[in-house]
Amino acid sequence: FMYVAALTNQQLIDKGNQMMDETDQAIERSKQ
C-alpha cells in the first residue's frame, strides 16, 4: 500500500512539473 501511495505521489509531482513547464513555455511564447 505504501509503495502504491509513493508511486501516486511521484506521478502527481511529475504531472505538476509538466504543467509548470507548459505554463512557462506559454509565457515565453507570449513574450515574443
Q: Please name the residue ranges forming H helices in the chain.
A: 2-31
pLDDT at residue 1 in the model: 62
Q: How far is CA 31 from CA 4, 6, 16, in A?
A: 41, 38, 23
Residue-wise pLDDT tens digits, 1-18:
667 777 788 889 999 999
DSSP character at residue 31: H
Residue 27 predicted with pLDDT over 90: yes
Give the residue, 19 or 5, on which the prediction is more confident. 19
- The reply to whether the predicted model has a pTM over 0.85 is no
User: CA angle, corner 24, sides to 23 and 26, nearest 5?
Assistant: 65
The C-alpha cell that represents 13 in the structure block: 509531482
Domain count within the chain: 1
DSSP E strands, 1-32:
none
